[in-house]
A and B are shown apart, each in its own frame.
Chain A
Amino acid sequence: MKVPSMNEERGSLDSIEFAQAMDDHLSSLRYARMIQQALMPDSLLLSGILKDYFVVYLPKDIVSGDFYFAYQNGGYIIIAAGDCTGHGVPGALLSILGISFLNEILQIRVVPRANRILNQMREKVMNALNQRGDELEKKDSIDIALCVYEPFRGVLQYAGANRSLILIRDGSLKEYKPDKMPIGIAPLEEASFTNHRIEVEEGDNIYLFSDGYPDQFGWETNKKFKINKFRELLLSVSGLTMQKQKEHIEKTFLEWRGKATQIDDVIVLGFEI
Chain B
Amino acid sequence: MKLIAFRIRNFRSIIDTGWQNISPDNITCLIGQNESGKTSVLEGLRVFHTGEISEDVLRSDLSLPEVSCKFEADGEAFLDKLEGAGNDLGELVKSQKDIIIVRSWKADLSSGLSIGGNILEHLEDIEGARRKHIEEIEKKVLCLDNDLVAAREKVRSAGNEIEKIEVELSEEPKKGQGIRFFKKKETDAGGNDDNRWKKLRDNLKSKKNIFEENSRYLKEREDLVESVEEWDNLKLKLSELDEKLKEVSSRLEERHQTMTLLSGPSLRDLSLGEWEGVLSDYKSATFEREEIIDKTDRQILLLGFLLDGMSRETAAEKSDARMKMDKSGYTPCLLGDIFFEDCPVFEIFEDFGSLLPNRIDLEDIVSANEEVEGYKAARNFLTIADLNYSFFQQPSTRILKQKIENLNARMTLDFQDFWQQYVGKKNKIRINFELDHYSTSHGDKAGKPYLEFWVKDEGERLYPKQRSRGVRWFLSFYMELMAASGKDKHLVLLVDEPGVSLHARAQEDVLKVFEDIKNNIQVIYTTHSPHLVDIDKLHRVLAIQRDDVENHRSATTILDAARLVNASPDTLSPLQSIMGNPVGNQEFSVDLFNIIVNDVGTFYLMTAAIMLTGYKGKIHFIPSTDPSSIPLMCNILMGWGMRFAVLLYNNDEELEIADHLKNLAFSDELVQEDMIVVMPEGFQNAEDLLSTLDFKRHVLHNREGITFSNSEYIKEKNLPRNFLLSKFLSNVKTGSVKRGNLDEETRENLVLLLNVLQKYK
Is B706 on the interface with A (CB-CB < 8 A)?
yes
Other-chain residue from B693, B703, B705 in contact with A192 (beta carbon distance below 8 A): B693
Is B704 on the interface with A (CB-CB < 8 A)?
yes
Nearest chain A CB to B285's CB is how many angstroms away?
69
Is B271 on the interface with A (CB-CB < 8 A)?
no
Other-chain residue from A110, A126, A132, A189 in contact with B682 (beta carbon distance below 8 A): A110
Nearest chain A CB to B750's CB is how many angstroms away?
15
Is A127 on the interface with B (CB-CB < 8 A)?
yes
Other-chain residue from B697, B702, B705, B745 in contact with A123 (beta carbon distance below 8 A): B705
Other-chain residue from B682, B697, B705, B743 in contact with A124 (beta carbon distance below 8 A): B705
Is B127 on the interface with A (CB-CB < 8 A)?
no
Nearest chain A CB to B707's CB is how many angstroms away?
5
- Tell me which residues from 107 to 161 in chain A have a Cβ below 8 Å from any Cβ of chain B: 108, 110, 113, 115-116, 119-120, 122-128, 131-133
- Tell me which residues from 737 to 757 in chain B have a Cβ below 8 Å from any Cβ of chain A: 743-745
B696 touches A190 (CB 8 A): yes
Nearest chain B CB to A165's CB is how many angstroms away?
19
Is A38 on the interface with B (CB-CB < 8 A)?
no
CA distance A128 to B706 in the complex (A): 10
Smallest Cβ-Cβ distance to A108: which chain B residue: B682
Smallest Cβ-Cβ distance to A195: which chain B residue: B744
B682 touches A191 (CB 8 A): no
CA distance A120 to B706 in the complex (A): 8
Contacts of A113 in B (CB 8 A): 745
B743 touches A191 (CB 8 A): yes
CA distance A182 to B692 in the complex (A): 17
Contacts of B707 in A (CB 8 A): 123-124, 127
Is A185 on the interface with B (CB-CB < 8 A)?
yes
- Tell me which residues from 211 to 242 in chain A have a Cβ below 8 Å from any Cβ of chain B: none
CA distance A133 to B703 in the complex (A): 7
CA distance A191 to B705 in the complex (A): 13
Other-chain residue from B692, B702, B705 in contact with A128 (beta carbon distance below 8 A): B705
Contacts of A108 in B (CB 8 A): 682
Task: Please tell me the size bucket of the interface on A.
Answer: 20 to 34
Contacts of A116 in B (CB 8 A): 691, 745
CA distance A199 to B744 in the complex (A): 20
CA distance A122 to B692 in the complex (A): 11
Contacts of B705 in A (CB 8 A): 122-128, 131
CA distance A123 to B702 in the complex (A): 12
Smallest Cβ-Cβ distance to B694: which chain A residue: A192
B702 touches A132 (CB 8 A): yes
Other-chain residue from A131, A185, A189, A192 in contact with B745 (beta carbon distance below 8 A): A192
Given A119-B691, A119-B692, A192-B693, verify A127-B745 contact (CB < 8 Å). no
CA distance A110 to B697 in the complex (A): 24
Nearest chain A CB to B44's CB is how many angstroms away?
51
CA distance A133 to B705 in the complex (A): 10
CA distance A116 to B744 in the complex (A): 10
- Tell me which residues from 663 to 693 in chain B have a Cβ below 8 Å from any Cβ of chain A: 682, 691-693
Contacts of A190 in B (CB 8 A): 693, 696-697, 703
A127 touches B692 (CB 8 A): no
Contacts of B704 in A (CB 8 A): 126-127, 132
Smallest Cβ-Cβ distance to B748: which chain A residue: A113
Contacts of B692 in A (CB 8 A): 119-120, 123
CA distance A272 to B693 in the complex (A): 34
CA distance A223 to B704 in the complex (A): 40
Smallest Cβ-Cβ distance to A104: which chain B residue: B707
Chain B positions 717 through 761: 1 when the CB is less than 8 Å from some CB of chain A, otherwise 0: 000000000000000000000000001110000000000000000
Other-chain residue from B682, B697, B706, B743 in contact with A127 (beta carbon distance below 8 A): B706
B703 touches A123 (CB 8 A): no
Contacts of A115 in B (CB 8 A): 744
Other-chain residue from A110, A124, A131, A191 in contact with B693 (beta carbon distance below 8 A): A191
Q: From B692, B706, B707, name the one whose CB has the most chain A CB atoms within 10 angstroms.
A: B707
Smallest Cβ-Cβ distance to B680: which chain A residue: A110
Nearest chain A CB to B311's CB is how many angstroms away?
68
Nearest chain B CB to A266's CB is how many angstroms away?
29
Contacts of A125 in B (CB 8 A): 705
- Tell me which residues from 622 to 672 in chain B have a Cβ below 8 Å from any Cβ of chain A: none
CA distance A125 to B703 in the complex (A): 12
Contacts of A127 in B (CB 8 A): 704-707
Q: From A113, A122, A190, name the one whose CB has the most chain B CB atoms within 10 angstroms.
A: A190
Contacts of B702 in A (CB 8 A): 132
CA distance A115 to B692 in the complex (A): 13
Other-chain residue from B693, B697, B703 in contact with A119 (beta carbon distance below 8 A): B693
Other-chain residue from A128, A189, A195 in contact with B703 (beta carbon distance below 8 A): A189
Nearest chain A CB to B182's CB is how many angstroms away?
109
Nearest chain B CB to A134's CB is how many angstroms away?
9
Contacts of B682 in A (CB 8 A): 108, 110
CA distance A37 to B234 in the complex (A): 93
CA distance A105 to B65 in the complex (A): 63
CA distance A190 to B704 in the complex (A): 10
- Tell me which residues from 171 to 215 in chain A have a Cβ below 8 Å from any Cβ of chain B: 185, 189-192, 195
CA distance A123 to B693 in the complex (A): 9
Contacts of B696 in A (CB 8 A): 190
B706 touches A123 (CB 8 A): yes
CA distance A195 to B744 in the complex (A): 10
Contacts of B743 in A (CB 8 A): 191-192
- Tell me which residues from 75 to 133 in chain A have a Cβ below 8 Å from any Cβ of chain B: 108, 110, 113, 115-116, 119-120, 122-128, 131-133
B706 touches A192 (CB 8 A): no
B697 touches A192 (CB 8 A): no
Nearest chain B CB to A220's CB is how many angstroms away?
45
CA distance A122 to B329 in the complex (A): 72
Nearest chain A CB to B353's CB is how many angstroms away?
63
Nearest chain A CB to B443's CB is how many angstroms away?
90
CA distance A185 to B704 in the complex (A): 9
Nearest chain A CB to B61's CB is how many angstroms away?
59
Nearest chain A CB to B749's CB is how many angstroms away?
12
B693 touches A185 (CB 8 A): no
CA distance A113 to B705 in the complex (A): 19
Smallest Cβ-Cβ distance to A129: which chain B residue: B705
Nearest chain A CB to B752's CB is how many angstroms away?
12
**Interface of B toward A, CB cutoff 8 Å:** 682, 691-693, 696-697, 702-707, 743-745
15 A-B interface contacts by CB (under 8 A): A116-B691, A119-B745, A123-B692, A124-B707, A125-B705, A126-B704, A126-B705, A127-B707, A132-B704, A133-B703, A189-B703, A190-B696, A192-B693, A192-B744, A192-B745
The 6 lowest CB-CB distance pairs between A and B, nearest first, are A126-B705, A127-B705, A192-B743, A133-B703, A123-B705, A127-B707
* A119-B692, A190-B696 known, 6 other contacts, Cβ within 8 Å: A127-B706, A128-B705, A189-B697, A190-B693, A190-B703, A192-B744
